[in-house]
Amino acid sequence: MATRAASVRDAAIKTGETCATKLQDGLTTTTQTFAALMTQAEEINRDRAELGEEATLKLLTKCQANVRALCMVEAQQQAHKSSLAGLRTELPEEVVPAELQRVFAESLKKHTEAHASKADVDQRREMRRLRALMTGEAAEEGMDEGGDEGDDDVMMTQQTITNIKCPILQMPMRPSGDMRPMTPKTGHASSCVYSFQGISSLLKRGASCDCPMNGCNAKVLKGGLVEAKEMLKKIKEMEDDGE
């Protein structure tokens, strides 16, 4: 029995490694698609006068939606890759085929959460460039790596939405309900803020979890969360502005 389990494990690892190689091809394709989309956007911008402002903005908005969707694809591919690459260390010594799927599904979920919380789509170079093209601030040639001025209306809106986004779920937080902002009572920076739903999903399996904020190494305790007052104020202000 032990031998059989070991061979199941070996076969799974081998298959996983083959898949990981294929996924790498997929990621390369994704990178190429990003580049193709950006070339398209630059061409649209070049033909701006001919297309007219309205059509240009429409087309660029479409590019933006495509880049956003592609970011999701990329995050999923990366999560898949991490899960597959981790099989060797994450698979138990003796694993039966029936368990394999569950182990992998759990691993994938964990990696997807990790990648999703790291991906700040709006701060991507591609998205920044598209915003610059849309606002007509892209008079200069080439990719603009410089700091955003943030004084434009479109930019402000984008920025504000980014600011009230739950870093775990990548969705705007709300003043109440499951998407309300929470923060650890002690031991974290005041910028460690996430939605109730998001942090709850990370705390499902234990009494504590690593703080999902980049650069924060503190633990988040299940009972140690309080309402994030500052963020709450910001969200309310923003929702008031929008109405």
Footprint of Zn ion (CB under 5 A): 188, 192, 211, 213, 216, 218
Smallest distance, Zn ion to C-beta of residue 123, A: 19
Burial of 79 (0-12, 13-18, 19+ CB in 10 A): buried
Q: Which is nearer to Zn ion, 131 or 180 (CB)?
A: 180
Q: Which is nearer to Zn ion, 129 or 188 (CB)?
A: 188
Smallest distance, Zn ion to C-beta of residue 187, A: 8
Smallest distance, Zn ion to C-beta of residue 76, A: 25
Q: Which is nearer to Zn ion, 55 or 189 (CB)?
A: 189
Q: Which is nearer to Zn ion, 111 or 188 (CB)?
A: 188
Going by the DSSP 8-state scheme, the letter that residue 121 receives in this structure is: G
Spatial distance between the Cα atoms of 27 and 74, rounded to a whole number of angstroms: 7
CB 77 within 8 A of CB 144: no
CB 112 within 8 A of CB 65: no
Spatial distance between the Cα atoms of 122 and 131, rounded to a whole number of angstroms: 9
3-class secondary structure, 19: helix
Q: Which is nearer to Zn ion, 81 or 188 (CB)?
A: 188
**Cα four-point dihedral sign 232, 238, 242, 243:** positive
Smallest distance, Zn ion to C-beta of residue 228, A: 12
Smallest distance, Zn ion to C-beta of residue 220, A: 7
